[in-house]
Amino acid sequence: MPIYEYHCDKCGKNFEFIVLGKDQPACPFCKNETVSKLISTCGFVNKGRGGETLSSSAASSSCRGCTAGSCRSCGH
């Protein structure tokens, strides 16, 4: 069950929505159904066999070429 972040095009507030099947999000503040999905970073920690941290969330990316946080397309 992924949780996505959305922005309401009517009232301008951001909210999270748990997607179950083909559920369509609606703003919990004003009930508007015209919302935009936001791009957000995921949180994870990749542990090696010895327990050392190999990498962490996309927000800690060392990429300086963009603001996306995770830049597979740029090779960083």
**What local confidence, expressed as pLDDT, does residue 49 receive?**
74
CA 13 vs. chain centroid, Å, equals 16
Distance (Å, whole) CA 66 – CA 50? 32
Burial call 38-63: b when 16+ CB within 10 Å, e when fewer: eeeeeeeeeeeeeeeeeeeebeebee
Mean pLDDT over 38-52 rounds to 73
Tell if the pTM clears 0.85, that is, is over it.
Answer: no
Give me the pLDDT at residue 42, please: 67
Q: What is the pLDDT of residue 50?
A: 72
Q: What is the pLDDT of residue 39?
A: 87
The predicted pLDDT at position 25 comes to 95
Query: What are residue 70's phi and psi, to 5 degrees?
Result: -130, 115
Confidence of residue 47 (pLDDT cuts 50, 70, 90): confident
